[in-house]
Amino acid sequence: MRFLKKSFLLLFLLSILFRLNSQEYNLNSPIDLPLNLSGTFGEFRSSHFHYGLDITTNKKSGYEVYSIESGSIIRIRVSTSGYGKAIYVDHLNGLTSVYAHLKEFSPKIQEYIKGQQYLRKSYNIQKFFNVGDLVIDKGELIGYSGNTGGSSGPHLHFEIRDTKSQNPLNPLSFEYEYEDTRRPIIRSLYVFDETDSFKKDNPKQYPIEKINDSIYKSKKVIYNNDIGIGVEVYDRQSGNNYNRNGIYEIRMYLDSILNFSYKMDNINISESIFRKVFYDYSLLKTRGVRVQKIYYPPNSKLSFLNHNTETGIFDSNDSIKKEVQIEVIDWNNNKSYLKFQIEGSLSNIKENPISGIEIVPDQEYKIKRNNVEVDFRRNSFFNKVALNIESNNDTLKVGKDIHPLRKSYNIKINKKIEDSIVRRQSYIGLINKNGKISYLNTSKNKNSFSVNSSILGSYILSRDSIRPEVKPLNFSLNEDVSKQKTIRLRIYDNISGIKSYEVLINNKWALFEYEPKSNLIFHTIKDGIIKNGENIIDIKVKDGVGNETKMNSKVYWSN
């Protein structure tokens, strides 16, 4: 890595005006491994669409990761959640590449970031750079693949973004090749009620029959409300890759005429909230299945659907029978087909009874139940909903988690607790399906407790009076650690979770990396904090409500 010359900065600015076509890019691969994918562009994630590719790394960490093109590092982040250790690089061609969940950075970057962590006395850090501060060459090592942050297994998360907008682009658009000869799999057909009402019919599943390797069929769909079609689909790359990846393209034909389609070529980050209505939320929560809608969801904004002249929604007044064919296509143009008939009917229209409070998206609602207040902001929901809200002592039920929220809402439980320790240890928790209570970051005073939440469900005022657990893993009191490369401890709290930790070695702040998935913190001895002879270690760990555990130890080290 070297400092940019002024000419490099000038070239970068000029490139914004004269961008190349994707056919001219000739980018390097970010890793010296075949592109076996455990995640594809545009898939549903709990907090966003998937903005890149997940490249499997043989269930191991430590593979070298390279810059796909020359450029300038503009952002480095280290976090215990999200992307973990990540690097963002701006390139002269108007693209930005992102490399996430890294185990560690290349030696030069690692040395700089570690210096910043010691300066700020924090493992979590985010550093922005100006174009030209840190240059990276095409094919230069920038880090090693890992499993940091919100990753569920070792892999490289790789993105390509448009530098100007920072909106993600499908990396496969840049002539990255990977082997895939298998057709997508179609599991189910679903019909969604899209009438503008408070009470809608539940999504109806239609069984499908596989006719041959590529063709599926289903029975006729007869409908009497405005409806949309959805399919449960996934793609497997090969016989050795069992990951259920997302689909690149879907087309819907009516009587052989294209009616609606989409491709996952690019995503507008500002529109990611609408993933909750593009993939059906209720089926995901109640059955654990991901169903993609083949129509423009009402009250949403998804730019990658804007090319359609039709919404894809079937009008209840349309009683003409139609032949429907749905094509499901992966990136390598392997195709599967689902065929069925559809016909509207004006008969048997039923009015469903409405139970609960009727909520219209463009209005605010302040609802009181006994000692509880629930506040919904304007446009908290995507569509009209009817909610049953009940309160009993310190327990609150706010509907069922089948309606997606566009904005968070506030829950306030009014309860006076005089004892300051009990008040500090109290919090509002979400009651999960298994009855376990999940801690929520709670604002509190002497007379009330409040949280903001983005899901519906049941809540309770609970208490955590148990201190976090701290346990040395590879050392003990008065032990010689000269043969160790790291000092490792387990920190754990199964109620309100770990909020903070601090370790001093010889009264100096020591960097301990944190891996929440394994409840592990560890310090690298070569950092130079540990000295020859006796070393005193002081550890302090706090949980979400402020319960604190302190531990002191003493170890010896010699060159």
DSSP 257-316: EEEEEEE-SB--GGGGGGHHHHBTHHHHHHT---EEESS--TT---GGGTT-SS--PBPT
Look at the chain and count its residues. 559
Cross-strand partners of 537? 505, 553
**Model pLDDT, residue 346:** 74
For residue 434, CA distances in Å to 323, 431, 437, 438, 455 come to 44, 8, 9, 11, 16
Is residue 443 located within the same domain as residue 532?
A: no
What is the per-residue pLDDT for 46? 79
Residue 353 pLDDT? 77
**Which segment, 6-20, 197-211, 239-253, 370-384, is predicted with the most confidence on average?**
370-384
Residue 349: its pLDDT value, please? 57
Q: Are residues 332 and 243 in the same domain?
A: yes
Residue 533 lies in a domain: yes
For every residue of 89-123, which 3-state class applies, written as one string?
EEECCCEEEEEEEECEECHHHHHHHHHHHHHHCCC
Q: Which of 174, 209, 228 is a domain's end point?
A: 174
Which pLDDT score, from 0 to 100, does residue 347 have?
63
pLDDT at 319: 83
Q: Clarify whether residues 37 and 135 are in a common domain.
A: yes
- Give the integer Cα–Cα distance in Å for 543 and 529: 26
Domain count, the chain: 4
What gap in Å lies between CA 554 and CA 79, rounded to an integer?
A: 29
Do 526 and 426 lie in a common domain? Answer: no
Q: Is the pLDDT of residue 317 over 80?
A: yes
- Token pair in block for residue 520: 């592990």
**C-alpha angle 226-231-232 in degrees, rounded to nearest 5:** 140
What ranges make up the beta strands (E) of 112-207? 125-128, 135-136, 141-144, 155-162, 168-169, 185-193, 204-206
CA-CA distances (angstroms) from residue 342 to 94, 113, 202, 320, 518? 46, 59, 18, 8, 51
What is the number of alpha carbons within 13 Å of residue 428 lying toward its C-beta?
25
pLDDT of residue 285: 93
Q: Last residue of some domain: 153, 174, 195?
A: 174
Return the structure tokens found at 415. Answer: 């309860």
pLDDT digit string (tens) for 470-500?
Answer: 999 999 988 999 999 999 999 999 999 999 9
For residues 444 and 475, membership in a common domain is answered with no
The per-residue pLDDT for 341 is 96
Indicate the pLDDT class of residue 351, thresholds 50, 70 and 90: low
DSSP secondary structure string, 416-472?
----HHHHHHEEEEEE-TTSPEEE---EE-SSEEEEEESS-EEEEEEE--PPPEEEE
State residue 2's pLDDT score: 42
Closest Cα partner for 442 from 453, 455, 458? 453
Per residue in 67-117, pLDDT (tens digit) is 999 999 999 999 999 999 999 999 999 999 999 999 999 999 999 999 999
pLDDT band at 1 (very low <50, low <70, confident <90, very high): very low
CB 376 within 8 A of CB 406: no
Pairing label, strands 335-344, 372-376: unpaired
Please compute the mean of the pLDDT values over residues 322-335 and round it to a whole number: 96
Handedness of CA 46, 259, 201, 407 (dihedral sign): positive
Instruction: Answer yes or no: is pLDDT of 440 > 90.
Output: yes
24 with 165, same domain? yes
> Which pLDDT does position 408 carry in this prediction?
97
| Residue 179 maps to a domain | no
Checking DSSP bridges between strand 291-293 and strand 257-263, what pairing results, if any? unpaired
349 part of a folded domain: no
Q: Do the beta carbons of residue 315 and residue 342 sit within 8 Å?
A: no
The CATH number covering residue 48 comes to: 2.70.70.10
Per-residue tokens: 200:
């809608």
Domain with residue 445: its CATH number is 2.60.220.30
Residue 500 C-alpha from the chain's centroid: 23
351 lies in a domain? Answer: no
A 10 A CB-CB count for 440 gives 19
418/443 Cα distance (integer angstroms): 16
The structure's pTM equals 0.91
**Residue 47: predicted pLDDT:** 81
Among 403, 433, 463, the domain boundary falls at 463
Mean pLDDT to the nearest integer, 181-196: 94
Question: Do 417 and 486 share a structural domain?
Answer: no
Is 488 inside any structural domain? Answer: yes
Host H or E run for residue 6: helix 6-17
pLDDT of residue 318: 83
Lowest-pLDDT range of 10-14, 55-59, 66-70, 118-122: 10-14
For residue 259, pLDDT over 90 is answered with yes
The answer to whether residues 314 and 225 belong to one domain is yes
- In a shared domain, residues 189 and 170: no
Q: Which residue has the higher pLDDT, 290 or 4?
A: 290
DSSP-derived 3-state class of residue 497: coil
Q: How many CB atoms lie within 10 A of CB 138?
A: 14
Residues 136 and 75: beta-carbon distance below 8 Å: no
Q: Which helix (H) or strand (E) holds 553?
A: strand 548-557
Q: 559: pLDDT confidence band, cut at 50, 70 and 90?
A: confident
Average pLDDT over the chain, rounded to an integer? 92
Within a domain: 315 = yes
**What CA dihedral angle connects 364, 369, 373 and 374, to 10 degrees?**
-40
Is the domain of 131 the same as that of 48? yes
Q: Please give the pLDDT value at position 15.
A: 45
For residue 239, the model assigns a pLDDT of 64
Asked if residue 412 and residue 323 are part of one domain, the reply reads no
Indicate the pLDDT class of residue 337, thresholds 50, 70 and 90.
very high
Report if residue 518 sits inside a domain.
Answer: yes
Lowest mean pLDDT among 15-29, 44-58, 167-181, 211-225: 15-29
CATH number of the CATH domain containing 510: 2.60.40.1220
In tens, the pLDDT along 157-175 reads 999 999 999 999 999 999 8
Which amino acid is located at 297 in the chain? P
Same domain, 489 and 443: no
8 Å CB contact between 542 and 497: no
Question: 319 or 138, which is more confident?
Answer: 138
pLDDT for residue 196: 86
Domain that holds residue 170: 6-174
* CA 219/CA 342 separation, integer angstroms: 9
The verdict on residue 216 lying in a domain is yes
